[in-house]
Amino acid sequence: MRERVVAACDGASKGNPGPAAWAWVVADESETPDRWEAGPLGRATNNVAELTALERLLAATDPAVPLEIRMDSQYAMKAVTTWLPGWRRNGWKTSAGKPVANQELVVRIDELLDGRSVEFRYVPAHQVDGDRLNDFADRAASHAAVVQEAAGSALGSPEPPPAPDTPAKAPRRKAPTARKGGGGSARTIKAKFAGRCLCGRSYAAGESIAKNDKGWGHPECRTAAAG
């Protein structure tokens, strides 16, 4: 029996509410995506999709094996790590006395967590060189939301494609000669995801970025840092 299983889950809603889906992925011992599943939800909110993804992952894994779950949803993360105990004590009502949103899913998740060793880890979404498992789950959920069809390793489905609103990865090209006074290549690529440069300013998906000594950022900031 494995000592620990590492997994990720994510939900997507194209419109919030809109066409929605959930997805989860379990890694092998080298933390490479091994088995996964995604499913459509019809029209639903992003919060419903996120909670459903977590519920399906918990139901699909062995409760006897410690589990690490990587998520990019602050709502789902806080629901299970911060708010859930209070909701349970209050009879599934908020501190304001109102019924907990998505109560059926929350109660089911609470039941699946009972007696299990589960560590929740928040990972930022859509980062250049971000978490591989989270990216896989994100792509799987996004694709299932668009096509509204089930997919997964058990169905023989291919690896999920990039999200429709994510620019394709720029083709590899030979790096040009470094500029005078350089300190590295001047090669730029199109950012697959939005991120933040070392200068503190953000850059958008599709914007040109270049490698610097701390990661990726604006080409001009790479040059300035190198100088």
pLDDT per position as a tens digit, 46-74:
999 999 999 999 999 999 999 999 999 99
* Arithmetic mean of pLDDT, 31-50: 97
Contacts of residue 172, defined as CB under 8 A and 6 or more positions apart, other chains included, come to none
Per-residue buried b or exposed e for 18-44, using 16+ beta carbons within 10 Å of the residue's own CB? ebbbbbbbbbeeeeebbebbbbbbeeb
Return the pLDDT at 196.
73
Q: Which residue has the tokens 């139901």?
A: 59
Helix, strand or coil, per DSSP, at residue 116: coil
- Asked whether residue 146 carries a pLDDT value surpassing 90, the answer given is yes
Return the pLDDT at 199.
73
Distance from C-alpha of 145 to C-alpha of 153, rounded to nearest angstrom: 17
- Of 128, 198, 202, residue with least CA distance to 166: 128
- 187 and 211 in contact (C-beta within 8 Å)? yes
Distances (CA, A) of 90 to 48, 81, 111, 112: 22, 16, 16, 19
Return the pLDDT at 170.
43
Return the pLDDT at 91.
96
Write out pLDDT tens, residues 83-136.
999 999 999 999 899 999 999 999 999 999 999 999 999 999 887 778 999 999
- Asked whether residue 40 carries a pLDDT value surpassing 90, the answer given is yes
* Arithmetic mean of pLDDT, 132-150: 97
Write out pLDDT tens, residues 196-221.
777 767 767 777 777 776 677 777 77
* Residue type at 112 in one-letter notation: L
Distance from C-alpha of 172 to C-alpha of 166, rounded to nearest angstrom: 18
Q: Which residue has the tokens 């994100």?
A: 138
- Asked whether residue 19 carries a pLDDT value surpassing 50, the answer given is yes
Write out pLDDT tens, residues 152-195.
999 999 999 986 554 444 444 444 433 433 444 457 777 766 67
Per-residue buried b or exposed e for 124-135, using 16+ beta carbons within 10 Å of the residue's own CB? ebbbbebbbbbb
Vertex 3 angle, CA 1 and 52, to 5° = 95
Distance from C-alpha of 100 to C-alpha of 64, rounded to nearest angstrom: 29
Helix, strand or coil, per DSSP, at residue 50: helix
Instruction: Show the beta-strand stretches assigned E in 51-192.
Output: 67-71, 118-122, 151-152, 188-190
Return the pLDDT at 215.
73
